Amino acid sequence: MSHSHDHSHDHTHTHETPNTKEKFLERLKEQGFKLTGKRRTIVDILLEEDRYISAKDLLELLKIQFPRLSFDTVYRNLHLLKEERLIEESVFGDGGSKFRIACDANHHHHHFICTVCGRTQLVEGCPMDALQLETPAGFHIETHRFEIFGHCADCCQSSL
Amino acid sequence: MSHSHDHSHDHTHTHETPNTKEKFLERLKEQGFKLTGKRRTIVDILLEEDRYISAKDLLELLKIQFPRLSFDTVYRNLHLLKEERLIEESVFGDGGSKFRIACDANHHHHHFICTVCGRTQLVEGCPMDALQLETPAGFHIETHRFEIFGHCADCCQSSL
DNA sequence: ATCAATGCAAACCTTTTGCACGCGT
DNA sequence: ACGCGTGCAAAAGGTTTGCATTGAT
């Protein structure tokens, strides 16, 4: 159950990381959620995109296959997927939320994020380890947020 | 002009840091902005509060003195103050923006932030220095975000 | 057959904008 | 007197909700 045989039909994705469609869908099924066509397609698209996109962009992509789909379903599924830790959310500079398929739900990480295309790169290490933190007396840490924003190589190019 | 004589009438604030009301207002004046009663009061309140608060909370506090004040003016001033780097903005977990008077516009810093009351503590150091970053090839860093969220000592207490 | 998922519409919340008037300079 | 600042009202976005229907199991 943990090491599912995900050598299915080879995808556009080359790496044999845990990010296979089947694994994601299995996780949902295990939790008792139904694998509807829309839900499958959302996971498909997010895997395919492999970058941060807005709910609006996601809806647009979904409408190709499901013209009548609207925001409510998108958001409901985004919430669900986030709860199940299958996607990651980040608030961009303009205040808008964007979402990407979870890189690795089990491994804590941070990202370089391209503010143009939403593509990401892993950051080596975590500031909570690297900084010798002097936590204020009595302060109880819950979460932290560390993100590096900029232009990726491709988007630097295209802005020339 | 840089070292203004801000020994005016002593305030509730004890430290003789750059965070004096006069200094903030001067900065605005220098830029050619008018020092209206509302603008003064916004700076007053933010200095007094000395923590992250929402536009809504700020408006509430302002309405005590200016009952007819509405969100538009609050936001217009928050934008202005942010442009002038007199306040800092942070997006909290729930997705809502909160604002606080700038701790020190000249010194780069990060915060421990209490998600209950919005009070902050400075973090020693910056992850961009502490982590030996391997910036992805061609990636052009623009900004970064690092915040540690949790409960401050006081808010831990009150939740017992 | 059951209960979750969806579509539709409407509400909601935060933030923004246009315009006429008021006020700091 | 000039021009920014403000109030009002309305719009704009993004996100959420209630309810009836559809659909996966």
Residue range A131-150, pLDDT digits in tens: 999 999 999 999 999 999 99
Assess whether pLDDT exceeds 90 at residue A77: yes
Assess whether pLDDT exceeds 60 at residue A117: yes
**Is any Cβ of chain A less than 8 angstroms from the Cβ of B150?**
yes
Taking the C-alpha atoms of residue A113 and residue A1, their distance in angstroms, rounded to an integer, is: 33
Which pLDDT belongs to residue A14? Answer: 42
- At the topology level, CATH places domain B18-104 in Arc Repressor Mutant, subunit A (1.10.10)
Percent share of chain A, pLDDT over 90: 74
CB neighbours of B61 closer than 8 A, spacing ≥ 6? B45, B49, B53
- Cα–Cα distances in Å, from A109 out to A51, A90, A101, A129? 15, 13, 14, 12
Q: Are strands A97-101 and A53-54 parallel, antiparallel or unpaired?
A: antiparallel
Distance in angstroms, CA of B15 to C1' of D15? 43
Contact A53, A116 (CB under 8 A): no
Assess whether pLDDT exceeds 80 at residue B17: no
Residues B152, A111, A152: CA angle, nearest 5 degrees: 140
Query: Among B118, B120, B92, which Cα is nearest to B104's?
Result: B120
Query: Does A133 contact B153 at a Cβ distance shorter than 8 Å?
Result: no
Which pLDDT belongs to residue A81? Answer: 96
Closest Cα of chain A to B46: distance in Å? 22
Assess whether pLDDT exceeds 60 at residue B137: yes
For chain A, the structural domain boundaries read 18-104, 108-160
| A144, amino acid identity | H
Tokens of B44: 């007053």
**Is any Cβ of chain B less than 8 angstroms from the Cβ of A112?**
yes
CATH number for the domain whose boundaries are B108-160:
3.30.1490.190
Tens of pLDDT, residue by residue over B145-159, are: 999 999 999 999 887
- Name the nt closest to A91 by C-alpha to C1': D14
Tens of pLDDT, residue by residue over A12-63, are: 444 444 457 888 898 899 999 999 999 999 999 999 999 999 999 999 999 9
| B64, amino acid identity | I
Assess whether pLDDT exceeds 50 at residue A8: no
Which pLDDT belongs to residue B77? Answer: 98
Mean of per-residue pLDDT scores for chain A: 88
Contact B145, A145 (CB under 8 A): yes
Assess whether pLDDT exceeds 50 at residue A7: no
Query: Does B153 contact A131 at a Cβ distance shorter than 8 Å?
Result: no
Same fold, B18-104 and B108-160: no
Which pLDDT belongs to residue A106? Answer: 80
Assess whether pLDDT exceeds 80 at residue A91: yes
**Is any Cβ of chain B less than 8 angstroms from the Cβ of A108?**
no
Confidence of residue B2 (pLDDT cuts 50, 70, 90): very low
- Name the nt closest to B31 by C-alpha to C1': D4
Q: Are strands A110-114 and B140-151 parallel, antiparallel or unpaired?
A: unpaired
Assess whether pLDDT exceeds 80 at residue B9: no
Which pLDDT belongs to residue B95? Answer: 86
Which pLDDT belongs to residue A52? Answer: 98
Assess whether pLDDT exceeds 60 at residue B15: no
Confidence of residue B43 (pLDDT cuts 50, 70, 90): very high
Which pLDDT belongs to residue A19? Answer: 59
From the Cβ of A37, is strand D under 7 Å away?
Answer: yes
Assess whether pLDDT exceeds 70 at residue A64: yes
